[in-house]
Amino acid sequence: MIQISVFALLFAGGVGFFSWNVIKIRQNILLGRKLDRTDHAADRWKTMFLVALGQKKMFTRPIPALLHLCLYAAFVITQIELIEIVADGLSGGHRSLKDSLGGFYTFMISFIEILSVLAFFATVAFLARRNMLKLPRLTMRELKGWPTKDANLILIFEIILLVCIFTMNGADEAAQLLHSNTSYGFAVSQFIGPLFFGGIKSTETLHLLEQIGWWGHITMVFVFLNYLPYSKHFHILLAFPNTYYSNLEKKGKFSNMESVTNEVKLMLDPSADPFAAPANPDEAPQRFGAKDVTDLTWKNLLDAYTCTECGRCTSSCPANITGKKLSPRKIMMDTRDRLMEVGDSQRKHGKDYQDGKSLLGDYISEEEIWACTSCNACVQECPVNIDPLSIIVDLRRYLVMEESKMPTELTGMLTNIENNGAPWQFSPNDRLNWANED
Amino acid sequence: MSLKVPTMAEMLANGETADVLFWVGCAGSFDDRAKKITKAVVKILNHCNVKFAVLGTEESCSGDPAKRAGNEFTFQMQAMMNIQVLNGYEVKKIVTACPHCFNTLKNEYPELGGEYEVIHHTQLIQDLINTGKLSLEGNQTFKGKKITFHDPCYLGRANDVYEAPRSLIEKLDAELVEMKRCKTNGLCCGAGGAQMFKEAEKGNKEINIERTEDALETNSSIIATGCPFCNTMMTDGIKHAEKENEIQVLDVAELIANAAEL
């Protein structure tokens, strides 16, 4: 009875605290500007199915994709065992699903065990890649400190989870053998059980070990669940909505700024009344472009929470490859860090609170955003369809349209377009000269 | 052979209509290197008797560099003025040799009232060959030569056009060699996003040098591309590598015009 109560408490606490954090994150994401991404539902489901569930874009780099697939598959399938663990925990039972599922149960658990072994080796490989091989994209400047610790912690959590599962199943197998000389017949624990726990000849000790594995596993599940909202690892959940709400347009199409269209139409319309009252006099005019996270769309902000800092974007960015300061991954990390800061301070001090800081300037520098060639390599690379380019463009828009701040050559280029209809200083009257030149 | 370059205004005055508008673009109109690409396109159009016209002095910057630089005002002013002209001539179909103009006209004009069928010149040439209007049969100009194709970002990743330019190179009886980074993984030449008009930020290398090295690795004698800006960047890269006597940077339209002996 005590065990059931402890479990129920752990369960309620774990799910409750997680939900509370999810609500906060949702609030933060909704601080972004409106954007309609509810159209083309069929295409969206398809994108989500292929990109998130099917990991389609991961496979442009086969080795990490395969390692990741092991972890991913084990994670997804283990959820089935988790149902049993929760059922056992709340009922005080032992392997609640075994009798009703019969042979399928053995198959299921065996499948989970095999994937878990693969996941174990994948995790070790990932740890080695990060800490021994020191891949450039996993050791960059923006990963110094917490992001590196975060990445390693996740992997260590995963190892603990896996060790607990095998302690549980292995000790249980050994107890079963000792008690009735029969085996559960699970693919891995039928070997691991006798190997690691076969020497223990006390049913109580084996039972205790199984309990340690069981409690260790479920405790880690709740720790992990509640760690997610504080970690880059939140992508395991947000990858799904984030790919569902992907940009379905051609990548080259930059968003149209409605507010500017209205102004330009007024300028080009000879009968427009420049002194007419605005359509919505009570509405404060929106800032052009983005200076802070609240000027970005909710999708940009969802992108930021979805980013798992893999750095594929950065490793394919021509600016970054050639040593410029720009790193698309850092753009996403900065956006999330700033959003968490804004969200927290708004919850603490009220909606209108200003902390005097902004995404542009305090987190992202002008040098970074001007290094972008808008080549879309980062957008193409992202395995969960994050779009760093749209943030970069919105930051440029703010700088150019609100502050008139840009590299001096660009001022000249823009003046040329405005005066001669070409980015260079040529007369529009000479536009057809080529046709008569040799 | 002198080029026939009718303008929309002349066509209208003669009571004719063009099947397709050739959008020349600023680079194609003013840049000495890009003008050669423009002429190659016109030679092909003339040769195939395509009923086309240009806007001539009525054409103005599509607004692409302004939009990429973050100046939506200048972009939309340009776009609206161009749309007025284009709609005035009731233009239905546009071909352009500049992927930046292509992308802007195709994707960013519709929301401002300019809806046209926009194609890249490599797509038009592919169509001319497929419909038998242009034949490259028996051409020996590029036979056996190694040619690599540099994907312009605004043609490839931005608009998913990878096949048209490659199919044209294959028509040349040449050997198409891919760079290690190609198609969706293609590396930018460094000119996009208004970078063409400014110095690069501080780094340890120029992007066009990095990209030229990809091309050099293929041991090709020709770097083909489909964008006047990529052409400039790659040409500069080749000069930097002091390979200008061995390696040519040519637009796909130039390859085709040469092969067809136009």
8 Å CB contact of B70 and A435: no
Question: Of A223, A244, A265, which marks where a domain is finished?
Answer: A244
Tokens of B105: 């006209």
In terms of domains, do A190 and A108 share one? yes
Considering chain A, what percentage of its residues have pLDDT values greater than 90? 79
Pick the residue from chain B with its C-alpha nearest to A402. Answer: B71
- Say what the pLDDT of residue A271 is: 82
pLDDT (tens digit per residue) in B72-90: 999 999 999 999 999 999 9
Coil/strand/helix, residue B21: strand
Coil/strand/helix, residue B262: coil
Amino acid identity for residue A105 in this structure: Y
- Say what the pLDDT of residue B1 is: 62
Angle of CA points B177, B180, B186, to nearest 5°: 100
| Interface with chain A: mutation pick from B76, B96, B105, B240, highest number of A CBs within 10 Å | B76
- Say what the pLDDT of residue A135 is: 85
What is the edge-to-edge ordering of all strands in the sheet holding B20-23? Answer: B52-53, B20-23, B93-96, B117-120
Considering chain B, what percentage of its residues have pLDDT values greater than 70? 100
Number of CB pairs < 8 Å for A and B?
216
Of A84-88, A165-169, B215-219, the range with the lowest mean pLDDT is: A84-88
- Say what the pLDDT of residue A14 is: 94
Pick the residue from chain A with its C-alpha nearest to B41. Answer: A435
In terms of domains, do A228 and A318 share one? no
Chain A contact present for B37, CB below 8 A:
no
pLDDT (tens digit per residue) in A74-98: 998 888 888 898 888 888 888 888 8
Give contacts of B184 with chain A, Cβ < 8 Å. 60, 380
B242: left (phi over 0), alpha (psi -120 to 50) or beta: left
pLDDT higher than threshold 80 for residue B24: yes
8 Å CB contact of A325 and B201: yes
Task: Identify whether A255 is part of a domain.
Answer: no
pLDDT (tens digit per residue) in A84-134: 988 888 888 888 888 888 889 999 999 999 999 999 999 999 999 999 998
What gap in Å lies between CA B154 and CA B161, rounded to an integer? 9
In terms of domains, do A12 and A88 share one? yes
Q: Can you give the CATH number for the domain in which A295 is found?
A: 1.10.1060
Question: Of A229, A244, A259, which marks where a domain is finished?
Answer: A244
B112: nearest CB among A261, A263, A431:
A261
At A43, is the pLDDT very low, low, confident or very high (cuts 50, 70, 90)?
Answer: very high
Average pLDDT along chain B: 96
Give contacts of B29 with chain A, Cβ < 8 Å. 422, 426, 430-434
pLDDT higher than threshold 80 for residue A282: no
As a whole number, mean pLDDT of residues B234-252 equals 97
- Say what the pLDDT of residue A100 is: 87
- Say what the pLDDT of residue A102 is: 85
In terms of domains, do A150 and A235 share one? yes
As a whole number, mean pLDDT of residues A8-13 equals 92
In terms of domains, do A10 and A77 share one? yes
- Is the separation of the CB atoms in B145 and B221 below 8 Å? yes
Task: Identify whether A100 is part of a domain.
Answer: yes
As a whole number, mean pLDDT of residues A141-168 equals 94
At A268, is the pLDDT very low, low, confident or very high (cuts 50, 70, 90)?
Answer: confident
What gap in Å lies between CA B33 and CA B98, rounded to an integer? 13
| Interface with chain B: mutation pick from A322, A387, A404, highest number of B CBs within 10 Å | A322
pLDDT (tens digit per residue) in A332-379: 999 999 999 999 999 999 988 999 999 999 999 999 999 999 999 999
Out of 3.40.50.1860, 1.10.1040.10, 2.120.10.30, 3.30.70.890, the CATH code matching B8-127 is: 3.40.50.1860
What gap in Å lies between CA B211 and CA B215, rounded to an integer? 7
Of A208-222, A268-282, A301-315, B233-247, the range with the lowest mean pLDDT is: A268-282
In terms of domains, do A24 and A112 share one? yes
In terms of domains, do A139 and A203 share one? yes
Q: How many domains does chain A have?
A: 2
ipTM value, please give it: 0.95
At A270, is the pLDDT very low, low, confident or very high (cuts 50, 70, 90)?
Answer: confident
In terms of domains, do A90 and A216 share one? yes
As a whole number, mean pLDDT of residues B206-229 equals 97
Chain A contact present for B56, CB below 8 A:
yes
Q: For A255-294, give one letter per residue: b (16+ CB within 10 A) or e.
A: bbbeebbebbeeeeeeeeeeeeeeeeeeeeeebbbbbbbb
Tokens of A233: 């690892």
Question: Of A184, A218, A244, which marks where a domain is finished?
Answer: A244
As a whole number, mean pLDDT of residues A6-16 equals 93
Q: How far is A381 from chain B (nearest CA, A)?
A: 8
What gap in Å lies between CA A369 and CA A392, rounded to an integer? 6
Chain A contact present for B39, CB below 8 A:
yes
Which H or E run includes A266?
Answer: helix A258-268
Of A283-287, A315-319, B30-34, B123-127, the range with the lowest mean pLDDT is: A283-287
Of A85-99, A221-235, B7-21, B156-170, the range with the lowest mean pLDDT is: A85-99
Which H or E run includes B245?
Answer: none
- Say what the pLDDT of residue A390 is: 97
Which residues 220-259 of B are in CB contact (within 8 Å) with A? none
8 Å CB contact of A398 and B70: yes
As a whole number, mean pLDDT of residues A423-437 equals 95
pLDDT higher than threshold 70 for residue A281: no
In terms of domains, do A231 and A142 share one? yes
Kindly list the distances between the CA atom of residue B87 and the CA atoms of A364, B12, B90, B115, B138, in Å, as whole numbers in the listed order: 42, 13, 5, 9, 42
Q: How far is A292 from chain B (nearest CA, A)?
A: 16
Give contacts of A266 with chain B, Cβ < 8 Å. none
Out of 3.40.50, 1.10.10, 1.10.3470, 3.90.320, the CATH code matching B134-259 is: 3.40.50
Tokens of A365: 């520098």
What gap in Å lies between CA B183 and CA B151, rounded to an integer? 6
Chain A contact present for B93, CB below 8 A:
no
Give contacts of A375 with chain B, Cβ < 8 Å. 153, 157, 188, 192-193
A400: nearest CB among B71, B80, B160:
B71
A373: nearest CB among B57, B65, B193:
B193
Average pLDDT along chain A: 93
- The residues with which B7 forms a beta bridge, in sequence order, are B54
- Say what the pLDDT of residue A128 is: 93
pLDDT (tens digit per residue) in B104-137: 999 999 999 999 999 999 999 999 999 999 999 8
Q: How far is B197 from chain A (nearest CA, A)?
A: 6
- Say what the pLDDT of residue A278 is: 67
Same-fold call for B8-127 versus B134-259: yes
- Say what the pLDDT of residue A361 is: 96
8 Å CB contact of A431 and B29: yes
In terms of domains, do A75 and A149 share one? yes
Task: Identify whether A278 is part of a domain.
Answer: no
Amino acid identity for residue A218 in this structure: I
Q: Tell me the backbone φ, ψ of residue A284, rounded to 5 degrees.
A: -70, 135
- Is the separation of the CB atoms in B169 and B224 below 8 Å? yes
Considering chain A, what percentage of its residues have pLDDT values greater than 70? 98
Residues of the domain holding A122: 2-30+61-244
Of A252-256, B104-108, B141-145, the range with the lowest mean pLDDT is: B141-145
Residue ranges per domain, chain B? 8-127, 134-259
Tokens of A327: 């790193």
In terms of domains, do A26 and A95 share one? yes
Q: How far is B84 from chain A (nearest CA, A)?
A: 11
